[in-house]
Amino acid sequence: MIAHVVLFSPRAGLGSAERDALVAAFETALRDIPSIRHARLGRRVTTGRQYEQRMSVDYQYAAVLEFDDLEGLQAYFAHPAHEQLASRFLTASERALMYDFEWTEGVPRPRD
């Protein structure tokens, strides 16, 4: 399983029309791109734990999209719905981080 992990904060002053267009682009991508197996979107919560004080940048939201394999992720990137989402995302976000990970279930075993 491959996870595309995005941490982001919206641009200050982002209008409701721009926010709605970003949400619509995300919904379209989820509906139209068949290689997306699962998606989650959430807002950051804080608990007062000490590690929160070590964060140098606050990302308000996270999105995690899961794919069966690397080919599925590449198909997502190449899809026109992703192009539309990426365009909206780049103009709507103030800052963002994007990482791709290979997920394993349970306790991972060391590789040779």
In a domain, 31, yes or no: yes
Q: What is the pLDDT of residue 107?
A: 72
Mean model confidence pLDDT for the chain: 93
In a domain, 109, yes or no: no
Which residues sit opposite 5 in a β-bridge?
64, 99
In a domain, 16, yes or no: yes
Q: What is the pLDDT of residue 56?
A: 86
Handedness of CA 70, 75, 78, 84 (dihedral sign): negative
In the chain, the number of structural domains is 1
What pTM was estimated for this model as a whole?
0.87
Question: CA-to-CA distance for 81 and 71, rounded, in angstroms?
Answer: 17
Integer angstrom CA distances of residue 57 from 5, 33, 48, 53, 96:
16, 31, 16, 10, 10
Range of the domain at 29: 2-46+57-102
Tens digits of per-residue pLDDT, 11-39? 999 999 999 999 999 999 999 999 999 99
pLDDT band at 105 (very low <50, low <70, confident <90, very high): confident
In a domain, 107, yes or no: no
CATH code of 67's domain:
3.30.70.100
Q: What is the pLDDT of residue 93?
A: 95
In a domain, 77, yes or no: yes
